[in-house]
Amino acid sequence: MSFNTLKHLIPVAWIKCCLLIGVAAFGLCGCSQDAPVSKSKMSKYGGTLHVGTETGFYGFDIFGPGKGGELNPSMATLNNLIQEPLFRLDLSGNIIPVLGLSAILSDNNRAWDIKLRQSVFFHDGTPFNADAVVLHWQRQLDPDNHFTGRKIFQAIQAVEKVDDYTVRFVLEFPWPPFLKLLSDESYLSVFIPSPRAVKEGTHNGAPVGTGPFKFFKDSPTDGFIVVKNHDYWQKGLPYLDKIIFRVLPDHQSRYASLIAGQMDVIYLDRGNLIQKADKAPSFFTHHAKGSGAEIVLINMRKPPLDDIRVRRALAFANYQKQEIKLAYGGILPFARHPLGEAFECVNDAYPEHDLEKARQLIADYGKPVIIGYLHSNTSRGKVIGELFQQLCKSIGVDLKLIPLPANGQIMRVLKRDFHLATWRILSVNDHGPQLYRSFHSKSPTNFTGYSSTLMDALLQSQRTEMGPEIRKEILCDIARLINKDVPILYRGGRRRYIAASEKVKNISDIAGLTVNMATAWIDSEKKSRIKTHKTVQKVVDSFDCPDPCKDFEDTDVIKAKILGTWKGMDDWGAKYKFIFKEDNTVRLHKTGRMKKTVPYEICSSKVYFQGRVKLVATPGTDKNKMEIQWKRDDIQGVVVFFKGD
């Protein structure tokens, strides 16, 4: 977490409950009926928060199109504002009561009785009670509904109503990760929707929950809008009147919108932009650590990958540190196993980068190795593919790159039609269930085809082991065996980054990669427009056109985007106008000071030219908006220009 984060994040003082651990019973104790709200003397009510995300929101019902019950970070953040789980985990792993107040383990560790919060209502006026919880879980557990996310919670046999505000979860066997999974906001399954909205079939597009914000509108032009729930059960929250989520797929445009004051918070995963935001005094950045890993699946069913020598050769050839640097800008942690950077395993058996060992294994195999590599058809996917292709070439392996859009790659993996494929292990509170469904020989979602009697025994053992330290060592044994048998390769760990204006206060963390914006408020005394001319830093990268130009877009396409008149204004109030012409010249105007025509050059999807200072224009996906970066001596800044006469 950066210093900027520490200046601006104020943790929410949620009530924490203790976990009683005995021979036959676990429980939450000391839970009050209402969790207190953190409210600084400076906190202010009202205002609208604008949030920029990379991807859209694909629905809120567990049986909506394409649902598997798993949420990406921005989707989880939005969903968290509308719907609520029974419990949450804080960053220390403590259980926090939300819609549930307590959980008592009984019946030889095979049943959990959960007391529910009373006097809570869904946004449509429907009361929250045991009926709502039971209905939600029965939909998931009914085998006739074929819910794909069911595999994570398959140890739950039934959910029954005990009384109006008590439900019982019946387990197939003692299951240690139960409460952690029930508190894991990476899964849509844990959130309780309105029974009326589910019955009427409207919940997927217009979700109804018990949360601090209510669904208002979702449109391509206005964004996804939630508004304050004035009847929220947790008194004092939320502070904001409205939050608007807008989809801005282009990372440069998203960052430019933050600079221009059009967005207050943006999600980022590009190293150069994160570093810029970290250094900018008018922003703060928030780095949330996750678990899991970015990985490459190895299809062990397909020769030559059924041979351990080939798989281990690929593991030794894999250069994770270089990939993190080149493809992710150094923003991801190093992944030594699938459990995440906070999960420590002694002697994890990670295969360190060693090309000589890799060459020896391929030579020992003694046959040509030609394999395909599925990766995303993005610029990052291309970098990832080409780096690994060169490493494979150096050890005598012919790697064929197969770039695909996300859906195409997923379908190939589901059909087991691949040799290697980029993938990820989710950031979750407990990895036991995810490892079971990914690597058990009988699991239908074991995409690698990994089959090991020892692995099956370890995976089964971790499901029922009630001793925390013993179970941790079993999970480490699983990680070591994965590293030894190599059904996957590692590309980096998991982290999530946001950047926000300094006027945004009190964003708090939720375990995993999710943030809580229900606690946020806006300091109206801070200027909404960022003073870009104060962002002073040492220049690192040259603004000269790279030579030779590589990986550039068609220059005609770039030229078509920039032709015409563009206007912008800096924070001193000076107005600028740039007119890009067909003859590769640009007319520069600054109010009362400068009129000049200079040549411009297109290279690597950017436009390079020079007036009194060096300038680089970066067209985005929005044809009416362009970011222009300026540099003079050892300072630089950014101004957003808009098209128009």
Convert the pLDDT of each residue in 195-237 to its tens digit. 999 999 999 899 999 999 999 999 888 899 999 999 999 999 9
pLDDT band with cut points at 50, 70 and 90 for residue 284: confident
Phi, psi of 150 (to 5 degrees): -60, -30
Q: Residue 513: which residues within 8 A CB-CB, separation 6 or more? A: 73, 76, 186, 288, 290, 427, 494, 495, 496
pLDDT for 312: 98
Same domain, 397 and 537: no
Residue 455 falls inside a structural domain: no
Domain stop point among 472, 492, 512: 492
Same domain, 575 and 545: yes
Please state which of the ranges 99-103, 290-294, 457-461 shows the lowest mean pLDDT.
290-294
Same domain, 10 and 91: yes
Mean pLDDT for 412-421 is 96
Same domain, 270 and 371: no
Residue 95 falls inside a structural domain: yes
Mean pLDDT for 76-105 is 91
Report yes or no: 118 and 104 within 8 Å, Cβ to Cβ.
no
Residue 441 falls inside a structural domain: no
Please state which of the ranges 420-434, 496-510, 568-582 shows the lowest mean pLDDT.
568-582
Counting Cα atoms < 13 Å in the Cβ hemisphere of 108 gives 3
Same domain, 165 and 270: yes
CATH number at residue 367: 3.10.105.10
Q: Residue 355: which residues within 8 A CB-CB, separation 6 or more? A: 316, 317, 391, 394, 395
Same domain, 516 and 612: no
Same domain, 412 and 282: no
Same domain, 227 and 252: yes
Mean per-residue pLDDT of the chain = 83
Residue 333 falls inside a structural domain: yes
Report yes or no: 518 and 213 within 8 Å, Cβ to Cβ.
yes
Mean pLDDT for 250-258 is 85
Instruction: Tell me which residue range forms the domain holding 324.
Output: 293-433+481-492
pLDDT for 341: 84
Convert the pLDDT of each residue in 9-32 to its tens digit. 323 333 333 333 333 333 443 333
Same domain, 302 and 225: no
CATH number at residue 99: 3.40.190.10
CA distances from 435 to 36, 151, 174 (A): 36, 11, 18
**148 pLDDT more than 90:** no
Counting Cα atoms < 13 Å in the Cβ hemisphere of 445 gives 14
Report yes or no: 169 and 177 within 8 Å, Cβ to Cβ.
no
pLDDT for 592: 58
Convert the pLDDT of each residue in 539-575 to its tens digit. 333 444 444 344 434 566 788 788 889 888 765 567 8
**84 pLDDT more than 80:** yes
What is the distance between the alpha carbons of residues 19 and 96, in angstroms, rounded to a whole number?
A: 10
Per-residue H/E/C for 438-500: HHCCCCCCCCCCCCCHHHHHHHHHHHHCCCHHHHHHHHHHHHHHHHHHCCEEEEECCEEEEEE
Residue 637 falls inside a structural domain: yes
Residue 615 falls inside a structural domain: yes
What domain count does the chain have? 3
**314 pLDDT more than 90:** yes
How many Å separate Cα 625 from the centre of its chain? 27
For residues 52 and 58, the model is more confident at: 52
Mean pLDDT for 299-312 is 98
Convert the pLDDT of each residue in 364-405 to its tens digit. 999 999 999 999 987 788 889 999 999 999 999 999 999 998
Same domain, 400 and 256: no
What is the distance between the alpha carbons of residues 564 and 108, in angstroms, rounded to a whole number?
A: 75
Mean pLDDT for 415-442 is 92
**494 pLDDT more than 90:** no
pLDDT for 290: 79
Mean pLDDT for 629-637 is 66
For residues 271 and 18, the model is more confident at: 271
Would you state the structure tokens that stand for residue 19, as one six-digit string? 């976990």
Mean pLDDT for 88-96 is 84
Residue 312 falls inside a structural domain: yes
pLDDT for 57: 79
Q: Quick check: helix, strand or coil at residue 400?
A: strand
CA distances from 306 to 311, 363, 398, 466 (A): 8, 16, 17, 35
Please state which of the ranges 63-67, 163-167, 193-197 shows the lowest mean pLDDT.
63-67
CATH number at residue 638: 2.40.128.640
Report yes or no: 354 and 382 within 8 Å, Cβ to Cβ.
no
pLDDT for 530: 39
Residue 151 falls inside a structural domain: yes
Mean pLDDT for 22-45 is 47
pLDDT band with cut points at 50, 70 and 90 for residue 640: confident
Same domain, 511 and 408: no
pLDDT band with cut points at 50, 70 and 90 for residue 149: confident
Convert the pLDDT of each residue in 523-540 to its tens digit. 876 544 433 333 323 333
Q: Residue 644: which residues within 8 A CB-CB, separation 6 or more? A: 565, 566, 567, 624
Same domain, 371 and 350: yes
pLDDT band with cut points at 50, 70 and 90 for residue 415: very high
